Amino acid sequence: MTALSEYQRLETTGLWRETPDSQRREVVVSLGDATLVISTMAETALSHWSLPAVKRLNPGKNPALYAPDGEADELLELSDADMIEAIERVRSVIEKRRPHPGRLRLWLGGVLSLVTILVCVLWLPGALMRQTAQALPAAARIEIGQRILAGMADLAGRPCAGRDGVEITREFSAAVFGSAAPQIIVLPSTAQVTAHLPGNIMVINRSLVEDYEDPAVLAGFLLAEDLRRRQQLPMLRLLEEAGLMATGRLLTTGEIDGSYLRAHAARLLTTPPAPVATDRLLARFEQAGISSEPYAYAIDLTGETVLDLIEGNPMRGRLRAPLLTDQNWIALQEICDG
Average pLDDT over residues 242-265: 89
End-to-end CA distance of the chain: 99
Asked if 115 and 252 sit in the same domain, the reply is no
Q: Which has the closest alpha carbon to 232: 276, 175, 295, 178?
A: 276
Asked if 179 and 308 sit in the same domain, the reply is yes
> Taking 70 as the threshold, does the pLDDT of residue 44 lie above it?
yes
Which structural domain range is residue 86 located in?
5-97
pLDDT bin (cut points 50, 70, 90) of residue 46 is confident
Q: In the beta sheet, which residues pair with residue 67?
A: 55
- Using DSSP, state whether 56 is helix, strand or coil: strand
> Taking 50 as the threshold, does the pLDDT of residue 127 lie above it?
yes
> Taking 80 as the threshold, does the pLDDT of residue 111 lie above it?
no
> Taking 90 as the threshold, does the pLDDT of residue 105 lie above it?
no
Identify the burial level of 276 via C-beta atoms within 10 angstroms of its C-beta, where 0-12 means exposed, 13-18 middle and 19 or more buried.
middle
Average pLDDT over residues 269-285: 93
> Taking 50 as the threshold, does the pLDDT of residue 1 lie above it?
no
Asked if 88 and 166 sit in the same domain, the reply is no
Asked if 175 and 293 sit in the same domain, the reply is yes
Q: Tell me if 106 is assigned to some domain.
A: yes
Asked if 78 and 13 sit in the same domain, the reply is yes
> Taking 90 as the threshold, does the pLDDT of residue 154 lie above it?
yes
Q: Look at the chain and report how many structural domains it folds into.
A: 3
Report in angstroms the alpha-carbon separations of 141 from 12, 181, 261, 290.
86, 16, 12, 30
Mean pLDDT of the chain, nearest integer: 86
Other beta carbons within 10 angstroms of residue 224's beta carbon come to: 22
Q: Which has the closest alpha carbon to 234: 123, 142, 116, 101?
A: 142
Average pLDDT over residues 311-319: 89
Q: In the beta sheet, which residues pair with residue 76?
A: 16, 66
Asked if 104 and 160 sit in the same domain, the reply is no
How far does Cα 189 stand from its chain's mean position?
Answer: 36
Q: Which has the closest alpha carbon to 204: 220, 222, 231, 217?
A: 222
Instruction: Look at 36 and 197; give whichever has higher pLDDT.
Output: 197
Judging by DSSP bridges, how do beta strands 35-39 and 45-50 pair with one another?
antiparallel
Other beta carbons within 10 angstroms of residue 331's beta carbon come to: 17
Average pLDDT over residues 212-223: 95
Instruction: Look at 10 and 315; give whichever has higher pLDDT.
Output: 315
Q: Tell me if 338 is assigned to some domain.
A: no
